[in-house]
Amino acid sequence: MLEKLTTARIESAAELYDWDELVQEDRVHRLIYTDPAIFQAEMTNIFGAVWVYLGHESQIPRNDDYITVRLGLRPIILLRDSQGKFRALFNRCTHRGTTLCRKDKGSARIFTCPYHGWSYLNTGKLRAVPWPDGYACDFKDSKFNVAQVPRVDSYRGFIFATLNPDAPSLLDYLGAITKPIDEWLDRQPKGKIAVCEANRLKYKGNWKLAYDNSGDGYHVVFSHRSLLEMENRQADVANKGMSYYKGSPDTAPMYMAYMGNGHHFKDKRPNIQKRAGGLWAVEGPAPGSEHYAEELRRRFGARAEEILDLASSEPVNINVFPNFSLLGNHIQVFEPVSVDETNVTWYGTAVVDEDGTLGGAVDEVNALRMRTQEQFPNFGEVDDLANFEEIQRGLACQEDEWIYMHRGLDIPGRVKTDENRHHHGTRHR
Amino acid sequence: MQTVHDPSTSSYYVNEQLYRDLVASFTDWQRDDLAVHDPSERDQFRMLVERKLACSTSLLRRMAGDVFARMHLLGAGNAGRGDPRREIAISFDDRRRMEDRIYRLRTGYAWSQAPKSRTVRMISNVETFATDQSTIRMVRSNFLISEFRVDGTRFLSGWCGHRLVRAAHALGHPGPTGQPDRLRPEPAQSQHCALTPRSMSRPPPRMISARMCGWSSPPRP
């Protein structure tokens, strides 16, 4: 458990502040979002201590494939080595610190440093040093190999890594959040998806603003009012997209659940009719919607509805602390840059139908699914990011210290606790 | 008889045929041997591209939606220049989605543009390429957009590819708008946008009181 990580690093961070004073039951202090010292502590004591999402197996499908990512601020080469093992190498030459790989993706058995030509196998092992006679040392010493993240593991295609040798297993760290992850995957044939490019955004604000927001059902009707109006502008009945937010989020059937270890889950599925075609019925209009729906119905009859649901956005926010969310059909990754700058990447996902479960409809489903996934980053996320930036600006008022997050607190019956001591309810901040 | 669909209210023309044509049109088209060198033709296309982009800018800025009336349009941006059926794009707008953009801005609740930012666009390096059809030209242009907001300025740069088709009514026959139409912008793909970070004012450095230590020695197996 995160709370039990009693290491020297945690103790050193504890000296920074009285954390119980900064994070209270009903409010948090502005310094949590604005203090560079806290940000630095987070890079070490959170991103350097828990399981952090790095990438999806479909991004490195073959041996020797790699992508370059970051673990906190650390540049990382995530790869399958020549034997097929997942590794997360520090993207840093042992010799003088130069990054070894400058591409975002590719395939390589060997990484050669552009500076002095030291080369490494994709296992991290030092392969060769130019003119070694100039050194008296033994280059077989493992201290000359590329440093790497000691623990890399995958949960159903999602690859995580941790620098913490004392961390629990990935499965234990994920804990109860595996259930919604499983449900998210298992609506696809054989539970498989593939990453298919990304919308890359950035904002001038702290990374936690985005993570917090992914569990916030209170903001939608205000922050996304333009989107709600837009996607219903031609609807006979205004029920498209996130229209279920138009009333109070407290009385809608959706709920928020705290899943332990910082993970949370906003489950909006209870707002949707539970039937084949229920998701497609509320999906906003997208390029090609009418053509593909008509074509699939012509070919598949009643079965077309469940096929169309695969092109529709799954109404969930599955948030795995600290940097990973499954939103709709997207994999969203939060990448801190500095205390007031964050990259937010929305990876699109495609359906993979290896055994023909969809009867040959997979190409049509994906053509439509690509278009539905472009909607929220274009018309919703941009307004979230504008608000995050304005929060960061507002928090410069240093004398006004507190941020309130107590919606639902102390209201009888609002929050329930299940047998795993996880909290469920409609406390939408 | 084929049903005529209003592209403002439904999307039938974004189909397999269109995707195939789009991918074929935007594959292997920026070739030296296809470059058009005739200065008058190049100038004509440069003006068309400038006018279209200026028109788009003006459209969004002034929110005048009727400019695109009766035109089937497609504006797409694929970061990896891949197949838009298998990869998400930065944006892939058909006629209806372009109208969605305008509608959203007009609501007054699009916070990313409230208040509206001011922009200046520059278009340059316009290149024209022939195709295997004499009525179709491909045009590439680079752009730089400066956006001025209350908290600073940011710059967006990228390039546009346009596929321009000489319409059947180009020889004096009236087009859909009742006016003779010469060259019509057709689906434009591969508008590659690169977002550059806004200039940031960083808070002054402060002393870190606590000792910050990472794992002392990452493993090197």
Question: Tens digit of pLDDT for each residue in A267-282?
Answer: 999 999 999 999 999 9
As a whole number of angstroms, the distance between CA A224 and CA A382 comes to 10
What's the gap in Å between the CA of B123 and the closest CA on chain A?
23
Q: Is there a contact between B88 and A348 if contact means CB atoms under 8 Å apart? A: yes
Q: Give alpha helix (H) positions in A232-356.
A: 278-282, 289-300, 304-309
As a whole number of angstroms, the distance between CA B119 and CA A90 comes to 41
**Beta partners for A66?**
A79, A106
User: Do strands A324-327 and A330-338 pair parallel, antiparallel, or not at all (unpaired)?
Assistant: antiparallel
Q: Is there a contact between A230 and B79 if contact means CB atoms under 8 Å apart? A: no
Tell me if B138 sits within 8 A of B42, measured CB to CB. no
What's the gap in Å between the CA of A414 and the closest CA on chain B?
31
**Searching chain A, which residue's CA lies closest to the CA of residue B7?**
A287
Which A residues 49-108 touch B at CB under 8 Å?
A: 90, 94
DSSP string, A28-68: EETHHHH-HHHHHHHHHHTTTTS-EEEEEGGGS-STTEEEE
Question: Which of B145, B101, B105 minimizes the C-alpha distance to B122?
Answer: B145
Q: Is there a contact between B92 and A13 if contact means CB atoms under 8 Å apart? A: no
ipTM: 0.89
Sign of CA dihedral A145, A149, A153, A154: negative
Q: CB distance from A386 to chain B under 8 Å?
A: yes
List pLDDT tens digits, range B17-61: 999 988 888 889 999 999 999 999 889 888 888 876 655 555 444
Q: How many helices (H) and strands (E) does chain B have?
A: 3, 7
Token representation of residue A3: 């709370």
Instruction: Compute the C-alpha angle A99/A13/A395, nearest 5°.
Output: 85
Q: How many helices (H) and strands (E) does chain A have?
A: 15, 21
As a whole number of angstroms, the distance between CA A326 and CA A319 comes to 7
Chain A residue numbers with beta carbons less than 8 Å from the beta carbon of B11 are 285-291
Q: How confident is the model at residue B76 (pLDDT cuts 50, 70, 90)?
A: low
- Which of A86, A362, A370, A376 is the mutation pick for testing B, counting most B CBs within 10 A? A370
Q: Is there a contact between A150 and B218 if contact means CB atoms under 8 Å apart? A: yes
As a whole number of angstroms, the distance between CA B9 and CA A424 comes to 41
Note the pLDDT of residue B193: 32
As a whole number of angstroms, the distance between CA A340 and CA B87 comes to 31
What's the gap in Å between the CA of A389 and the closest CA on chain B?
10
Q: Could you read off the pLDDT tens digit of each residue along chain A, which spans 429 residues? A: 333 344 555 556 778 899 999 999 999 999 999 999 999 999 999 999 999 999 999 999 999 999 999 999 999 999 999 999 999 999 999 999 999 999 999 999 999 999 999 999 999 999 999 999 999 999 999 999 999 999 999 999 999 999 999 999 999 999 999 999 999 999 999 999 999 989 999 999 999 999 999 999 999 999 999 999 999 898 777 788 888 888 787 788 999 999 999 999 999 999 999 999 999 999 999 999 999 999 999 999 999 999 999 999 999 999 999 999 999 999 999 999 999 999 999 999 999 999 999 999 999 999 999 999 999 999 999 999 999 999 999 999 999 999 999 998 999 988 877 777 666 665 545
Identify which of B79, B91, B101 has the shortest CB distance to residue A197. Answer: B79
- Cβ of B47: how many Cβ atoms within 10 Å? 11
